[in-house]
A and B are shown apart, each in its own frame.
Chain A
Amino acid sequence: MESILTINNLTKKFGYLTAVKDLSFTINKGNVYGILGPNGSGKSTTLGIVLNVVNKTEGSFHWFDGNTSTHDALKKVGAIIERPNFYPYMTATQNLKLVCKIKGVDFSKIDEKLEIVGLLERKDSKFKTYSLGMKQRLAIASALLNDPEILILDEPTNGLDPQGIHQIREIIKQIAAKGTTILLASHLLDEVEKVCSHVVVLRKGVKLYSGRVDEMISSHGFFELKCNKETELIKLLENHKSFSKVKIQDHLITAFLSEPMLSDDFNKYLFEQGIVLTHLVQRKESLEEQFLQLTDHNQN
């Protein structure tokens, strides 16, 4: 598969603080990646390094096949980090013209991209008159100007109201649907879960996991159960070899699987044992639960 970004053993130290520690991963074309991690886990620093604004301490990274210089490679990348940064005294069109000049893109793209983010009517208003949501959408338009091979978004919905968040997510989904590679850094797990196929999980600058979202922890999911003969059920579950852990909360019994099992087989087995369920749900951990498990396991 064609690689877009390769990071090898990247380390960044700010004085005594190690913001990124020995980080390696590869971004391949066509996937939607999420970088997950709590605040201060090194997401923005990592992106800063590959985007040429933060100097690395050790390690290496290269864009595409490694034969282009970073700043030339960035002309084929679209990125927005943290807050939208534009010249407040210029209009949207003027700001985008400046970006066109830097990236070497034709001015004709400007209106097309403003249309995508729905700012065409306001294109001649000064940037400083925009609301935060509009500023963020302009930033996306700016990142799309060069029809990038990869779009990098760092906390794109930070500080937006629900409508703004929804608009940005819709735009991201549209772009992803066109096959553009996306790298999305966020601490909002449902955001990543909704759009990403692959994740890199960071904690305190250390990589905990990188790979497909659904393979994040070796888990076979769990059953949520309710029945009238609770004690019998719990006894049965605790002695069953397929279950590793049983949790009870408010009459809801959660039984974690240690090997694969189908819900109909399980239901049949219980019925044969004389237990009738009133509630049966088979689930896999949500990204949030997986993430918390992953970060908890590595706490020490």
Chain B
Amino acid sequence: MLRLLNLELQKLLLNRTSKILIFISFILPFFVILLSSLKINVFGFFTLELGELGVFNFPIIWHLTTFFASQFKFFFAIVVVSMIGNEYSNKTIKQNLIDGLSKKEFILSKFYTIVFFSLVSTVLITLISFCIGMYYSSYTEATIVVRETEFLLAYFVKLIGFFSLCLFFGMLVKRSAFALAFLFILYILEWILFGLITWQFNASIAEKIQNFFPLKSMYKLIDQPFQRVAMTKFPDKGELAYDYGAHSYEIIIVLCWTALFIFLSYRLLKKRDL
């Protein structure tokens, strides 16, 4: 396993473009979170301090940071599709197989890399959220701190699921740009299907079914936190209440998609003549 991971890391880290993209997708969000936690004086008119709003309180900080950090996953998605696209355009996938890598090992080395970077990202976000939280949060009791840490697990699963989807699209179309276009098409397709089901039945059934779609199910893992922040400000407004939790069934749906995408990528490579 380490051998396969090592192989892929060498391919990625010696490539300047992927190095920059990896840096952006992992370091930038933490930078943004860190900056936003600072007291910012906007041209002397007023000082903006997000900490004052209570958004860095435990346990809501877990929700907030994972939500924001996951918006940066698109940069690493480019790395994932290009690491497949480059293997095809350089024909190095062929050479790798001839040199004695099995097709299974090839897919696994990509998958391990995805898991590795997702894990690194999760660990980093855990650390930074914890530090900011300890500094700003009004409550720092251990029981409150560990509450809702399932958002971290959700974040980890969300990244793996999304990157596995990118891996599959990369294997399917062999070109990075087309794979990204496919991602966009899938996004539109999910909404068209949603619209069709709403039209045929009703919105609540449509929404339930939509939650099983690949992109939507990944998005649903960590719901948007704005409404929740608003809820803490106006606790009496009942209509704002919504289900923002990261549920185990949501995680299972995404894990199923992940397994399917990896399996399909393998099947695709096995059947294909290079």
Of B5-13, B186-194, B214-222, B231-239, the one with at least 4 CB within 8 A of chain A: B5-13
Q: Which of B90, B94, B272 has the most CB of A within 10 A?
A: B94
Neighbouring A residues of B273 by C-beta, 8 Å = 14, 48, 53-55
B15 CB–A CB distance under 8 Å: yes
Task: For residue A76, give the distance in angstroms from its CB to the closest CB of chain B.
Answer: 8
What A residues does B271 contact at CB under 8 A?
A: 55
Q: Is B95 an interface residue (CB 8 A)?
A: yes
Q: Mark B257-274, 1 if CB is under 8 A from A, else 0.
A: 000000000000011111
Is B91 an interface residue when CB atoms closer than 8 A count as contact? yes
- CB–CB A86/B94 < 8 A: no
Answer whether A81 and B94 are a contact pair too, CB < 8 Å, given A55-B271, A103-B99: yes
A52 with B99: in contact, given A97-B10, A98-B10, A101-B10 (CB under 8 Å)? no
Tell which of A67-75, A182-190, A231-239 binds the partner: A67-75
Smallest CB-CB separation from B105: which chain A residue?
Answer: A71
Give, as a whole number of angstroms, the nearest-CB distance from A75 to chain B: 4
Structural contact, A86 and B95, CB atoms closer than 8 A? yes
Q: B36 CB to closest chain A CB, in angstroms? A: 35
Q: Identify the closest chain A residue to B95 (Cβ).
A: A85
Q: Return B10 CB to nearest CB of chain A, in Å.
A: 6
Q: Are B10 and A89 in contact (CB under 8 A)?
A: no
B14 contacts partner chain A, Cβ-Cβ < 8 Å: yes
Q: Please, how many angstroms separate the alpha-carbon atoms of A52 and B273 in the complex?
A: 9
A269 at the interface (CB under 8 A from B): no
| Measured CA separation A14–B90 after assembly (Å) | 23
Taken together as a complex, chains A and B put the C-alpha atoms of A83 and B273 apart, in Å, by 17
- Chain A interface bracket (under 10, 10 to 19, 20 to 34, 35 or more): 20 to 34
How many whole Å from B219's CB to the nearest CB in chain A?
34
Contact, CB under 8 Å: A88 / B90: yes
Q: How far is the CA of A89 from the CA of B87 in the complex (A)?
A: 12
Shortest Cβ distance from residue B19 to the other chain A in the assembled complex, whole angstroms: 10
A90/B100 contact (C-beta < 8 A), A85-B92, A85-B95, A101-B3 known: no
Interface residue count on the B side (C-beta < 8 Å): 28
A101 to B2, CA, bound (A): 11
Over the window 59-101 of chain A, the binary record of Cβ atoms lying under 8 Å from chain B Cβ atoms (1 yes, 0 no) is 0000000000101101101010101011111100010011101
Which B residues are in CB contact (< 8 Å) with A54?
273-274
Complex contact B10–A52 (CB within 8 A)? no
Give complex CA distance A47, B192 in Å. Answer: 47
Min distance, Cβ A86 to any Cβ of chain B, angstroms: 7
Instruction: Answer whether residue A51 sits at the interface, using C-beta atoms and an 8 A cutoff.
Output: yes
Tell me whether B100 and A102 are in contact (CB under 8 A).
yes
**B94-A85 in contact (CB<8A):** yes
Contacts of A89 in B (CB 8 A): 14-16
Does B42 touch A at the CB level, under 8 Å? Answer: no
Tell me if B48 counts as interface (CB < 8 A to partner A): no
Q: Which residues of A sit under 8 angstroms from B94, Cβ to Cβ? A: 53, 81, 85
* With A55-B273, A94-B14, A97-B10 as contacts: A86 and B90 at CB distance below 8 Å: yes
Residue of B7, B14, B86, B91 near A102 (CB, 8 A) is B7
User: Closest CB-CB distance, A68 to chain B, in whole Å?
Assistant: 11
* A1 CA to B41 CA, complexed, in Å: 84
- The answer to whether A102 touches B90, judged by C-beta atoms less than 8 angstroms apart, is no
* B50 in contact (CB, < 8 A): no
B1-37 vs A, CB cutoff 8 Å, 1 = contact: the mask equals 0010011001100111000000000000000000000
Q: 7 A-B contacts, Cβ less than 8 Å apart? A: A52-B97, A54-B274, A74-B98, A74-B100, A81-B98, A94-B10, A98-B7
Question: What 9 A-B pairs come out closest when comparing CB atoms?
Answer: A75-B100, A71-B102, A85-B95, A74-B100, A85-B91, A53-B274, A54-B273, A102-B99, A51-B98
Known: A71-B100, A85-B95. 13 other contacts (CB 8 A): A52-B97, A53-B274, A54-B273, A55-B272, A71-B97, A74-B97, A75-B99, A85-B94, A89-B14, A89-B16, A98-B10, A101-B6, A142-B99
